[in-house]
Amino acid sequence: MTISRSSQLNSTSNIHNLSNPGQISGAKFNDINFNAILDPGELGLRDITLYLDLNQNKFLDEGEPATITGVNGEYSFRNLPPNTYILREISPIGFASTTPDPILNVIPGSNLIVNVGNVSNRGQISGAKFNDINSNGKFDSGEFGLQDITLYLDLNQNQFLDNGEPVTITDVNGEYSFQNLPPNTYILREISPTGFTPTTPDPILNLTPNSNLIANIGSVSNRGQISGTKFNDINSNGKFDPGEFGLQDITLYLDLNQNGFLDEREPATITGVNGEYSFQDLPPNTYILRDISPTNFISTTPKSILNVTPGSNLIANIGSVNNQGSISGIKFNDTNTNGIFDPGELGLQNITLYLDLNKNGLLDGEEPSTMTNVNGEYSFQNLPVNTYIIRENQVSDFIQTTPDPIINVTPGSNIRNINIGNVNNRGKISGTKFNDTNTNGMFDPGELGLADIALYLDLNQNGFLDEEEPSTITDVNGEYSFQDLPSNTYILREISPPGFAKTTPEPVVNVTPGSNITNINIGNVNNRGEISGTKFNDTNTNGILDPGESGLANITLYLDLNKNELLDEGEPQTITDVNGEYSFQDLPPNTYIIRDDQVIDLDQTTPDPIVNITPGSNIRNINIGNVSNRGEINGIKFNDKNTDGILNPGENGLGNFTLYLDLNDNSLLDFGEPATITDEFGFYSFKDLPPNVYIIREVQKIGFSQTTTDPVVNVTPGSNINDINIGNFNEFI
């Protein structure tokens, strides 16, 4: 009988269709935990045949409804008439049911959900074959797997791998597994590799359906090894301490016959670049480890007697120390003469040092000697045990600041930091020649150096630079120095430049051996001064240069030396620039009066400044105000429609009216009297008027009558008088 998934919807061959049939559906699932419940994570089983056993004979007969589970284990029986049904399966090989065959009562319209569980009746055995380093029978952290080991299930228990018995080989991590095993009791055995002994008994494993048994199997090498480091035991304490390094190319051997020599066939090795060595694959035994000591080295550790047991890994470090010693250090420039090599002090190169074996204070033939390198470093190597005095061949211009070192060299000692100080027995003086603008005698921030000033050391104290006296010239930054000076007390003097005066006393400087005397700064100040400021239009005549007031260009200012209020020949003068700015430079100390050459139409609003110039002074903001001594009158001639004498909104200006200033008050426009004609808007203006009281009159036009009185206007210097409006009325306009 053939069953297809496509036929499952109508798999009721001998069941009558009804108007209200029922159905049965659900899933066939892998019941991993045997609890007969479809739990989260349990998967469906596909391609399983389910049927309704109508005749209850436990076989799928022709005509009985049947179906095959889908990809997720789902199934369904539809269009079922009311009845009681037994749901059975054709179990796949290797699987057993975990739920009894369901007996289901279908009533009209019912939809029964029934999940049917199966579980594999096969099991597996897996685990790792491991190197049981500590032989405790447990797969501990740090123990690794053994690959390529053959494991088998000894079905006939004859302790041999027979044909047909399950077999596997461990992978790179020592892991193995036996899959798809029927329930049974199995003995797991191995084919042990050469040199290894099992540390766990052969596992006896009871495999039940769907079980996954873990069995780790230990072996340990029945050989041992010895390894360690041959090291330079610098402190001779027999221990391999931090900072001690290995000795390479040293021959080590296992003295099997205990005769103290390396004989043929005795295990031997040579230490690596870091002094490391090892002896591998050693049978259990007691071994004596010896070395062939290099020249000038002696052993610092006793001979090693080592008991190798199966699987043991013995560590044995072997110390040696050079039976000679060394001395090293730095020959340094002890600039502060404290006998200590301080940060910032430099080494002295090309200095000859020697070990004064006969203590005669001289470098004799055969006495060890060395020369310091570019950093002042020196060393004496391969010294026999002894007490040594280190001396130097004295260097010209230098004296020693530390006593001659006395050093006790012991076997293997490496005596460092034997630093020897020298100091130049000459000294130097340095500093800056500066422009002491505030004349306080101190080199303050913002004050600049003075270049090209001659300085000298006045050895004979005569106040002059004599031949052979040390001298120097300041550089672009005003800096100077005197080098290589013998110990002495010096007076530092200058050849003062024109126009400058000293603000500091002449320095008296005591130079001692090796001294470097800095910041001997010498102040000068220009003994001339300057005055500067602005000539300005003082529009509000308050005598102050206010914001918005502009400078007056091309005004001549002068210093009235003889106080006669005239610019005389030889008196300092200047002309203001486009911004009204002026300055007088290079002025000798004095009290000065600043005046201007009176400008027509301008009056001064500030008094003539009186300024006291001191050496180096720079007097700014001496501002001098002027204001125009002329004035102006402005206004509108307007059509006073309502004859109220006031220019009201909507009243327009009257153009082409002649207005004049009636200087002689005769009510006539006379020759020479200022006159103007109103423009189209009625606007008029009288400019450049000397201070006076003016009457403004008009030349009367026919048909017009004046509605305001003739204005009387007082013009003062610089005044700008506006809104002098004059009304007229014409009844026909």
pLDDT, tens only, 89-120: 998 887 888 899 999 999 999 999 999 998 87
Mean pLDDT, rounded, of the chain: 91
Q: Do 19 and 80 belong together in one domain?
A: yes
Q: Do 175 and 238 belong together in one domain?
A: no
Q: Contact at 8 Å (CB) between 724 and 634?
A: yes
CA atoms of 114 and 306, how far apart (whole Å): 73
Q: Contact at 8 Å (CB) between 153 and 182?
A: no
Model pLDDT for residues 213-270, shown as the tens digit of each residue: 999 999 888 888 999 999 998 888 999 999 999 999 999 999 999 999 999 999 999 9
Residue 613's pLDDT band (boundaries 50, 70, 90)? very high
Q: Do 297 and 333 belong together in one domain?
A: no
Half-sphere exposure of residue 583, counting CA atoms within 13 Å on the CB side?
10
If you ran DSSP here, which 8-state letter would residue 318 be given? E
Does the pLDDT value for residue 4 go beyond 50? Answer: no
Q: Do 192 and 231 belong together in one domain?
A: no
Q: Do 353 and 435 belong together in one domain?
A: no
- On the 0-12 / 13-18 / 19+ scale of CB atoms within 10 A, 377 is middle
User: Which SS3 state, helix, strand or coil, does residue 629 take?
Assistant: coil
Q: Do 614 and 644 belong together in one domain?
A: no
Residue 724's pLDDT band (boundaries 50, 70, 90)? very high
Find where tokens 């007490």 sit: 387
Do the bridges between strand 318-322 and strand 224-232 make them parallel or antiparallel, or are there none, so unpaired?
Answer: parallel
Whole-angstrom CA distances from 25 to 68, 113, 292 are 12, 5, 88
Q: Do 622 and 639 belong together in one domain?
A: no
Residue 570 Ramachandran class (φ > 0 left, ψ -120 to 50 alpha, else beta):
left
Does the pLDDT value for residue 18 go beyond 60? Answer: no
- Residue predicted with more confidence, 500 or 621: 621
Domain count, the chain: 7
Q: Contact at 8 Å (CB) between 469 and 457?
A: yes
Model pLDDT for residues 534-557, shown as the tens digit of each residue: 999 998 889 999 999 999 999 999
The reported pLDDT for the residue numbered 222 is 80
CA atoms of 689 and 696, how far apart (whole Å): 13
Whole-angstrom CA distances from 296 to 33, 163, 324, 412, 598 are 76, 67, 7, 9, 107
Full residue range of the structural domain in which residue 91 is found: 5-120
Q: Do 572 and 648 belong together in one domain?
A: no
Strand blocks (E) in 518-623:
522-526, 529-537, 556-559, 573-575, 581-587, 590-596, 602-604, 610-613, 618-619
The reported pLDDT for the residue numbered 1 is 56
Within 10 angstroms of residue 142's Cβ, the number of other Cβ atoms is: 6
The count of residues in the chain is: 733
Residue 3's pLDDT band (boundaries 50, 70, 90)? low
Model pLDDT for residues 146-169, shown as the tens digit of each residue: 999 999 999 999 999 999 999 999
The reported pLDDT for the residue numbered 11 is 39
The pLDDT of 177-204, averaged and rounded, is 91
The reported pLDDT for the residue numbered 163 is 96
User: Among the three residues 499, 526, 553, which one is the final residue of a domain in this structure?
Assistant: 526
Within 10 angstroms of residue 361's Cβ, the number of other Cβ atoms is: 9
Model pLDDT for residues 669-701, shown as the tens digit of each residue: 999 999 999 999 999 999 989 999 999 999 999
Q: Which two tokens stand for residue 441?
A: 């005698």
CA atoms of 58 and 66, how far apart (whole Å): 13
User: Among the three residues 120, 149, 172, which one is the final residue of a domain in this structure?
Assistant: 120
The reported pLDDT for the residue numbered 309 is 86
- On the 0-12 / 13-18 / 19+ scale of CB atoms within 10 A, 174 is buried
Q: Do 9 and 108 belong together in one domain?
A: yes
Does the pLDDT value for residue 512 go beyond 80? Answer: yes
Q: Domain of 471: which CATH number?
A: 2.60.40.10
If you ran DSSP here, which 8-state letter would residue 616 be given? T
The reported pLDDT for the residue numbered 495 is 93
User: Among the three residues 89, 120, 151, which one is the final residue of a domain in this structure?
Assistant: 120
Does the pLDDT value for residue 13 go beyond 50? Answer: no
Q: Contact at 8 Å (CB) between 678 and 699?
A: no
Within 10 angstroms of residue 324's Cβ, the number of other Cβ atoms is: 17
The pLDDT of 474-480, averaged and rounded, is 97
Q: Do 616 and 580 belong together in one domain?
A: yes
The pLDDT of 378-382, averaged and rounded, is 95
Residue 733's pLDDT band (boundaries 50, 70, 90)? low
Q: Do 24 and 107 belong together in one domain?
A: yes
- On the 0-12 / 13-18 / 19+ scale of CB atoms within 10 A, 519 is exposed
Q: Do 313 and 235 belong together in one domain?
A: yes
Starting from the edge strand earliest in sequence, which strands make up the sheet with 406-409, in order?
369-371, 352-355, 386-392, 406-409
Model pLDDT for residues 33-50, shown as the tens digit of each residue: 889 999 999 999 999 999
Model pLDDT for residues 280-317, shown as the tens digit of each residue: 989 889 999 999 988 888 888 888 999 998 878 899 99
Model pLDDT for residues 419-450, shown as the tens digit of each residue: 999 988 888 999 999 999 888 999 999 999 99
The gap from C-alpha 44 to its chain's centroid, in whole angstroms, comes to 59
